[in-house]
């Protein structure tokens, strides 16, 4: 979501191909994720969405990405096996891991990979508190979601390739250096850690496994670019998330009336065409729509993946959870920015 490289100055024919590719890729990802329905399968759609908005990931990038995710899963399971019995020690270690991920340069850890590693460091240890076997299932789910997302993206790009710029693929996932000094990256990472870490501590100390989706929201939204520096970004995200939650209600109610999987795919194809046109075309509300679509996928994915009779009622709770998470992030980042303003601002 946050690492997409979007060129909004495109010829109409090129833009149409990109929009159709985006819609087709989203539908394939949803068909596999919602159809097979492994645990947290909606993460595959979230990841595929991030890649489909940019250039084609090279095979080398995809392999490197997958290997790093597997290593992260193995490390998370290892730490869960041997350190969770010393919960206080693990909580401190997890804080250091969070700070490192926020501090690492984009040339070392791409923004998309950073988001994925954040989710791994949150979800696996938390679910392992209940049972290490559950942690292993979650680990496999993250790996499967990664592989499925990359295969879907490569398939979409195979049918709708970028013919105009064959060198784009090689450059797309070589992040440009962001003009921040080590000190500025340290301060930005510290601010993000101060916002996210208390929530992680709360979950680990009280074992809120049933509310793990909140940590997923935190991991995704806290990695949104510019969140820690610009309060307006958080407000934009809040509007997008609430709008996405409302739309997810309508889609769910439509699916209750017409419970056909084919109809769901056709519905998402139409939605993806509209979303792709707005985002790839550089529309006024592109940022809100990006956040809103991730919200739709998370809410509907968790609802359709639930075997509970009151799945519709759970959706309302998830929308409220997302709203609370985003409001917390906006207010917390805003407060920290007021207490510790950026050094550039003090010079002006």
In the chain, domain spans: 12-342
Q: What's the confidence (pLDDT) of residue 130? A: 84
Quote the DSSP letter at residue 229: T
| Res 177: pLDDT | 41
Structure tokens at 84: 């969770």
- pLDDT digits 0-9 by tens, 109-143: 788 888 889 889 888 988 888 888 998 999 999 99
Residues 6+ apart with CB under 8 A from 302: 42, 213, 314, 318
Mind giving me the DSSP string for 253-291?
Answer: HHHHHS--HHHHHHHHHHHHHHHHHHHHTT-TTHHHHHH
Q: Which comes out higher in pLDDT, residue 326 or 46? A: 46
Residues 6+ apart with CB under 8 A from 41: 32, 33, 34, 141, 144, 145, 301, 305
| pLDDT recorded at residue 229 | 56
Tell me the backbone φ, ψ of residue 41, rounded to 5 degrees.
-65, -25
- The chain-wide mean pLDDT, for the chain, equals 80
Cα angle vertex 243, ends 288, 32, to 5°?
Answer: 85
Q: What is the DSSP letter of 301?
A: H
Residue 305 has pLDDT above 80, yes or no: no
Q: For residue range 257-269, what is the model confidence (pLDDT) as tens digits?
A: 888 889 989 999 9
pLDDT band (50, 70, 90) for residue 28: very high
Is the pLDDT assigned to residue 299 strictly greater than 80?
yes
Q: Which of 56-65, 164-173, 222-231 has the highest mean pLDDT?
A: 56-65
| pLDDT of res. 137 | 93
How high is the pLDDT of residue 90?
Answer: 84
End-to-end CA distance of the chain: 32
Q: Output 241 or 132, whichever has higher pLDDT.
A: 132
pLDDT digits (tens, 9 = 90+) for 151-188: 999 999 999 988 755 454 444 444 444 456 777 788 88
Residue 3 has pLDDT above 50, yes or no: no
What pLDDT, on a 0 to 100 scale, did the predictor assign at position 308? 52
Model confidence band, residue 60 (pLDDT cutoffs 50, 70, 90): very high
Give pLDDT, residue 168. Answer: 47
C-alpha–C-alpha distance, residues 53 and 94, integer Å: 31
Higher per-residue confidence, 308 vs 224? 224
Instruction: Name the CA dihedral angle for 149, 153, 155, 161, rounded to a multiple of 10 degrees.
Output: 180
Cα-based angle 252, 142, 307 (whole degrees, multiple of 5): 35
Q: Per-residue confidence at 286, pLDDT binned at 50, 70, 90?
A: confident
Give the span between the Cα atoms of 84 and 30, in whole angstroms: 34
Sequence-distant (≥ 6) Cβ neighbours of residue 121 within 8 angstroms: 72, 76, 94, 97, 98, 101
Band of residue 63 on the pLDDT scale cut at 50, 70, 90: very high
The mean pLDDT of 75-82, rounded to a whole number, is 89
Cα-based angle 108, 147, 42 (whole degrees, multiple of 5) = 100
Q: Percentage of the chain with pLDDT > 90?
A: 22
Helix (H, G, I), strand (E, B) or coil at 161: coil
Say if residues 150 and 45 touch (Cβ distance below 8 Å): no
CA dist 67 and 239 (Å) reads 35
């Amino acid at each position: 979501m946050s690492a997409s490289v979007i060129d909004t100055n495109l010829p109409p024919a090129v833009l149409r191909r990109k929009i159709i590719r985006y819609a087709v890729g989203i539908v394939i990802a949803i068909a596999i994720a919602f159809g097979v329905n492994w645990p947290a399968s909606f993460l595959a759609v979230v990841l595929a969405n991030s890649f489909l908005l940019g250039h084609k990931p090279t095979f080398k990038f995809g392999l490197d990405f997958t290997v790093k995710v597997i290593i992260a899963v193995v490390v998370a399971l290892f730490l869960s096996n041997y350190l969770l019995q010393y919960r206080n020690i693990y909580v401190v270690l997890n804080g250091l891991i969070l700070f490192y991920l926020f501090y690492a340069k984009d040339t070392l850890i791409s923004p998309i990979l950073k988001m994925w590693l954040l989710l791994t460091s949150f979800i696996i240890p938390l679910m392992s508190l209940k049972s290490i076997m559950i942690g292993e299932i979650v680990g496999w789910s993250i790996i499967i979601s990664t592989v499925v997302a990359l295969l879907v993206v490569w398939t979409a790009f195979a049918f709708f390739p970028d013919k105009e710029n064959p060198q784009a693929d090689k450059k797309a996932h070589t992040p440009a250096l962001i003009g921040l000094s080590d000190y500025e990256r340290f301060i930005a990472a510290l601010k993000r850690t101060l916002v996210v870490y208390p929530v992680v501590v709360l979950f680990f100390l009280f074992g809120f496994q049933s509310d793990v989706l909140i940590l997923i929201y935190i991991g995704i939204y806290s990695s949104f670019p510019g969140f820690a520096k610009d309060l307006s970004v958080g407000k934009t995200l809040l509007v997008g998330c609430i709008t996405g939650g409302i739309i997810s209600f309508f889609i769910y109610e439509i699916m209750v009336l017409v419970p056909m999987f084919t109809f769901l795919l056709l519905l998402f194809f139409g939605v993806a065409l509209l979303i792709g046109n707005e985002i790839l075309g550089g529309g006024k509300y592109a940022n809100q729509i990006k956040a809103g679509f991730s919200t739709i996928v998370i809410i509907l994915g968790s609802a359709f993946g639930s075997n509970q009779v009151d799945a519709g009622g759970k959706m309302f709770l998830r929308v409220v959870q997302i709203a609370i998470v985003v409001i917390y992030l906006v207010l917390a980042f805003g407060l920290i920015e007021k207490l510790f303003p950026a050094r550039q601002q003090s010079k002006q």
